[in-house]
Structure 1
Amino acid sequence: DEDEEDGADVIERVQELIGEAPDSNPDDDLPELPLALYRRYRPETFDEVIGEDHVIEPLKRAILNNRVNHAYLFSGPRGCGKTTTARILARALNCEQGPTPTPCGTCQSCRDLACGGPGSIDVIEIDAASHGGVDDARDLRERAFFAPVHSRYKIYIIDEAHMVTPQGFNALLKLVEEPPPHVKFIFATTEPEKVIGTIRSRTHHYPFRLVPPKVLVEYLAELCGKEGIDVDHAVLPLVVRAGGGSVRDSLSVLDQLLGGVADGHVSYEQAAALLGYTPEALLDEIVDAFAAGDAHQVFATIDKVIEVGQDPRRFAEDLLRRMRDLVIVSAVPDACRSGLIDVSPEQATRLAHQVSGFGAGELTRAAEVLATGLTNMRGTTAPRLHLELMCSR
């Protein structure tokens, strides 16, 4: 008894030293932070996935026709919906009302696999980047033969599948070729060529693509409305450009902009400054100087670019993009109205005015000089000099 009392005294003394009450939980004092946009608005049904109709429609038809394969390979750039679609497919297959392309969302399986849900013991997500060895594959192979606990199927979602070692793939080969009736595999990867051919040939391969800018702009505008944030017309194309067609990357950029919003509004100037793009005013200055043949103004604008801390390479990229727009407007005068170029009405007026200052072929030659010069700027130790030489030509 004395030993127990001494032990209790020691524990109490240690708790006093570290400043922690016996029943306290340090997590209780942490503020609840909002989820990132790409997690808050993660699609939960096939119909909510944007820009991947060439994948979604065949998957829905396969479920309707009862022709679901035992193994799938989803490939494509990062952030385009591979893992999300894999989760939706798992939800559709294990829905108590299914298998169905439209999960009910109310059964226990659907609730477990919903965004923010606890997950399902029968849907196992494996990060192959850290669990891609032969021992991990053997462990998976042994567990796969056990029947699912609650659901119709036991589904393995193997993310970053290209990171599985050749020995790991070989250990899985027989299981993927002839799995038990209750097992499904979904491999997700950005590099399908690194998945060994014997595994690829046993899967249905669905290549995901980057989402078209117009579709992504409309989607981001819808989310801004849900968030109650007003954005300038030219902001969302900048966000899409920064995201490179990836939905997740674009949402991360938008989340960054919304995090610093003032008075519920995001202006073009704020977005351009934060994302490092060249202000339209500087591009207008140098294009007008080109049209007028004003060398002094050209070099003065370059000097201004350096003074404001703009990266010469980024300025050259933005200038080439402006020249591209001018070339299109020169060839197709109604390009802005027809949607070939997504710009505001004010910017469309400026483009039409700037085109009138160039002769036939001048815009094309200028764009070619910029494209060649931009390639030569990579790795240079004197980017300003290269920019000045480009503009002087």
Structure 2
Amino acid sequence: MDAPLALYRRYRPETFTEVIGQDHVTEPLRAALAGNRVNHAYLFSGPRGCGKTTSARILARALNCEQAPVADPCGECDSCRDLARGGPGSIDVIEIDAASHGGVDDARDLREKAFFAPVRSRYKVYIIDEAHMVTTQGFNALLKLVEEPPPHLRFIFATTEPDKVLPTIRSRTHHYPFRLIPPKLLSSYLSELCDKESVAIEPAALPLVVRAGAGSARDSLSVLDQLIGGAGSDGVTYALASGLLGYTPDTLLDDVIDAFAAGDGASIFGVVDRVIETGQDPRRFTEDLLRRLRDLVIISAVPDAPASGLIDVAEDAGERLVAQAARFGAAELSRAADLVATGLTEMRGATAPRLLLELICARVLLPGADGNDGVMARLDRLERRMAIPGQVAAVPAAQPTAASATTTPQPTPVSRPEPPGEAEPLAAAPPEPMPEPTPDPGPMPELTPDPGPDPGPDPGPDPGPAAVVSTGSTEVGGVLALVDVRRLWPDIVEAVKARRRLTWIHLTQHAQVVAVDATTLTLGFSNAGARESFDGGGSAEIVRQAAIDVVGSDWKVETIVDPGAQPAATASPVTPAPSPEPTVGVEPPVAAEPPAQADPAAVAAAREAIQQTRAPGSTNDRDPATDPRAAADAEAHPDDDDIDSSGLAGAELLQQQLGAEVIEEIKHP
């Protein structure tokens, strides 16, 4: 069985109406044919694969059609069938390749044969392809024949370089310039051909085929033919197209753009390393990155560019590009595109393209490295940071009084939980001293700690985790990026610790942030048991409240099982400088060695203290060992205050449950 013809031969147009993207040429030609106003010589010029030779054949068919003058050949007469797609050809239509027949001897031979009348048709038509390859002597030999041909003779010159055609020849022809086919029109045409061939193709793969074809119908059909030949049962997929055509996958471009937006140098150079390790060409990666930045620049100026067809991308890719463009300023995007374009020019002929690519990325990461463009890029970043919640101090609702009108407003204090291992002594040490906003230290703090679960705000201007929120973010409109949330995650975890230690243990030992958007925070747990315990105990609400206090974002907390979750160690919140005033009457705590065994008196004291802090009538007031209802409630609602199942005793129990630190152990006789 013979192999099928190539796509560009099977679907070669047979009429002017089938030629796509050249209406400025085909419509005047159809009008001239219909009105019998055809010239004796034509010059078709334009890029390769745009339909010059095909249009010359259609013009020859229409000239020799038995129903002429007609705008389009009938397709039924002998001449039309001879010149049809797959036809044997006509003896009266002669195609000459000037690349191999452009000498003066070939021109003289053509001139001698041209005076003979056509055998079967009305006209003898010469189609001279690659006409710019004809030598000057050859053109001079044809000059008199082209200027005053016999009535039965017609010339059609086709060339990609009309400036190289002898001006005396060019001035005696009707010149029709062909153009590249628009990407949107070419993409629609290729999709129709895939339907005719019964081949499935992913929408994201079509732009790659159009890009590889570079506006040429023939080249695009050749690329599509190659992809169809190598496609499996799923058809032409994006992965097949990007891998076979050598383009950078969108995932790599998304990673490097997100890293540029976040100023994350580690991620950027990691992407460069992946490009090299996977065997991709650094020059092609740089070119693809420049194209992505070009799309973002356009979207920054025209937000609906993907929907209006201003840029040719799939629908899901368009939404992703709009979100990426929103994370940059116009000056920042323009500066990055200029740097990448300059670097791409420098890469031509470079012996170390990876080095140049890394230098390009370093320049983009450093806005102050160049002149006015760098200053504008830095201003863009500052404006985006000011738009994040927590950057601007809230204005009090009440009217200021006369006394407060002259007082500098203080930021709202945030209660800061104690870091692990630095809890207060049981009943001797006062709270950690806080710096006062004025030289007056104020009244002495209370010496006994408040056993209540929610202490009031400290009088001092403790920055707390909120101070971390006001720096380092790179998102617009109050929507934090994943890299920003992971940077602020230790402060959220510390805020959770002040509310419920069981939730804090889950976050520090089993969970990490895997995704975030404007409404949802997704946590990944290392195993299903930890996730079920987290969801069943109401810990999601604890995390939501902590995120509101620390970040200012009201997220819905969702959980998934992520075996690769690696919880990051929580960072201690910002600790203010100690007060210069010495603490009177309180001895500094002295660390003591933990007891070798559990102290029954200490256990009893801890249990009694915990019972005093519980709400009356809570399920923890009942003994799960004797009360079945209490046992069921404890199993359905696990709480970190349940010390019966903690497995701890003595100093460990006091330290974890009450946040205490053992000063000295007293042995009773």
TM-score, length-scaled by structure 2: 0.54
Answer yes or no: is 1:221 the counterpart of 2:191.
yes
What is the rounded CA distance, in whole Å, between the counterparts of 1:171 and 1:360 in structure 2? 59
Aligned partner of 1:26 in structure 2 is: none
Whole-angstrom distance in 2 between the partners of 1:343 and 1:130: 42
Conserved? CA contact 2:255–2:271, under 8 Å: yes
Contact 2:181/2:217 (<8 A) preserved: yes
Q: Distance in 2 between matches of 1:391 and 1:56?
A: 48
Q: Deviations over 1:349-368 (max 9, x none)?
A: 22222223224521111111
- Where does residue 172 of structure 1 map in the other structure? 142
Q: Give the Cα separation in 1 of the matches to 2:33 and 2:316.
A: 49
Contact 2:248 2:285 in 1 (8 A): yes
Deviation of residue 98 (structure 1)? 0.8
Q: Which residue of 2 aligns with 1:136?
A: 106
Deviations 1:124-182, CA, capped at 9 Å, x for gaps: 00111111111111111111111100001000001111111111111111111111100
1:181-218 CA-to-partner distances (Å, cap 9, x unmatched) read: 00000001111111111111111011111111111111
Name structure 1 gaps, 5 residues minimum.
1-30
Alpha-carbon distance between aligned partners in 1 of 2:262 and 2:23, rounded to the nearest angstrom: 48
In the alignment, the residues of structure 2 paired with residue 128 and residue 339 of structure 1 have an alpha-carbon distance, to the nearest angstrom, of: 40
| Higher RCO (C-alpha under 8 Å, 6+ residues apart) | 1
Q: How many angstroms apart in 2 are the aligned matches of 1:211 and 1:360?
A: 30
Q: What does residue 284 of structure 1 align with?
A: 254
Residues 388 and 108 (structure 1), Cα distance of their counterparts in 2 relative to 1, 3 Å cut: same
- Rate the CA distance shift 1:362–1:110 in 2: closer, same or farther, 3 A: same
Deviates more, 1:278-287 or 1:326-335: 326-335
TM-score by length of 1: 0.91
| 2:23 counterpart residue number | 53
| Residues 126, 156 of structure 1: 8 Å contact kept | yes
**Cα deviation per residue 1:93-125 (whole Å; 9 max; x = unaligned)?**
000111311211010000000011000000000
Aligned-partner residue type, residue 315 of structure 1: F
User: 1:85 maps to what in 2?
Assistant: 55
Could you say which residue in structure 2 is the equivalent of 1:365? Answer: 335
One-letter amino acid matched to 1:109: S
Tell me if 1:388 matches 2:383: no
The answer to whether the 8 Å contact 2:290/2:340 transfers is yes
Quote the sequence identity (%): 74
The answer for the alignment partner of 1:109 in structure 2 is 79
Alignment partner of 1:329 is 2:327: no
Q: Which residue of 2 aligns with 1:71?
A: 41
Equivalent in 163, 177, 182 of residue 193 of structure 1: 163
Cα contact 2:183–2:312 (8 A) shared by 1? no
Q: CA deviation at 1:326?
A: 1.2
CA contact (8 A) 1:228 1:264 kept: no
Structure 1 CA distance for aligned equivalents of residues 21 and 235 of structure 2: 27
Matches within 5 A, 1:193-342: 193-263=163-233, 265-342=235-312
Question: 2:46–2:160: 8 Å Cα contact kept in structure 1?
Answer: yes
Equivalent AA in structure 1 for residue 306 of structure 2: C
Amino acid at match of 2:252: L
Native 8 Å contact 2:81 2:87 kept in 1: yes
CA contact (8 A) 2:231 2:240 kept: no
1:358 aligned counterpart, secondary structure: coil
Question: CA separation in 2, counterparts of 1:138 and 1:167?
Answer: 10
Q: How does 1:20-39 map to 2 (within 5 A)?
A: 31-39=1-9
Q: Tell me the residue number matched to 2:10.
A: 40
What is the DSSP-based 3-state SS (H/G/I as helix, E as strand, rest coil) of the residue aligned with 2:290? helix
- For the residue of structure 1 that corresponds to 2:126, the secondary structure is strand
Q: How far off its partner does 1:235 sit?
A: 1.1
Cα separation, 2, equivalents of 1:359 and 1:197: 51
* Structure 1 CA distance for aligned equivalents of residues 140 and 321 of structure 2: 58
* Mapped partners of 2:23, 2:336: distance in 1: 39
Deviation at 1:282, TM superposition (A): 0.4
Counterpart residue identity of residue 276, structure 1: G
Task: State the distance in 2 between where 1:231 and 1:284 align.
Answer: 23
Alpha-carbon distance in structure 1 between the residues aligned to 2:69 and 2:349: 54
Give the whole-Å Cα distance in 2 for the aligned partners of 1:324 and 1:197.
39
How far apart, CA to CA, are the structure 1 residues paired with 2:329 and 2:170?
54
Query: Please, which of 344, 347, 355 is the counterpart of residue 377 of structure 1?
Result: 347
CA distance in 2, matches of 1:337, 1:240: 18
Larger deviation, residues 323-332 vs 269-278: 323-332
Stretch moving more, 208-217 or 83-92 = 208-217
Instruction: Note if 1:353 corresponds to 2:323.
Output: yes
Contact 2:297 2:330 in 1 (8 A): no
CA distance in 2 between partners of 1:291 and 1:356 (Å): 10
CA RMSD of aligned residues (A): 1.0
Residue aligned with 2:89, SS: coil
* Residue aligning to 1:147: 117
Which letter maps to 2:300?
A: S
1:264, distance to aligned residue in structure 2 (A): 5.1
SS in 2 for 1:101: coil
C-alpha distance after superposition, 1:332-378 (max 9, x if no partner): 22111111122222212222222232245211111111111111111
Measure, in 1, the Cα distance between the counterparts of 2:25 and 2:139: 25
- Mapped partners of 2:109, 2:226: distance in 1: 41
Tell me which amino acid in the other structure corresponds to 2:335.
Answer: R
Aligned to 2:368: none
Paired with 1:73 and 1:335, the residues of 2 have a C-alpha distance of 37
Change in 2 beyond 3 A, CA 1:360/1:141:
closer
Secondary structure of residue in 2 paired with 1:351:
helix
Letter in 1 for 2:158: A
Once the two structures are TM-superposed, the CA of residue 65 in structure 1 deviates from its matched residue by 1.7
Give the whole-Å Cα distance in 2 for the aligned partners of 1:305 and 1:264: 27
Letter in 2 for 1:300: G
C-alpha distance 109-385 of structure 1, shift in aligned 2 (>3 A): same
Shift of 1:331: 1.6
Tell me how far apart the structure 1 counterparts of residues 112 and 3 of structure 2 sit (CA, whole Å): 40
Distance 1:214 1:144 in 2: 43
Once residues 329 and 82 of structure 2 are traced to their aligned partners in structure 1, the CA distance between those partners, rounded to angstroms, is: 64
Distance in 1 separating the partners of 2:199 and 2:77: 34
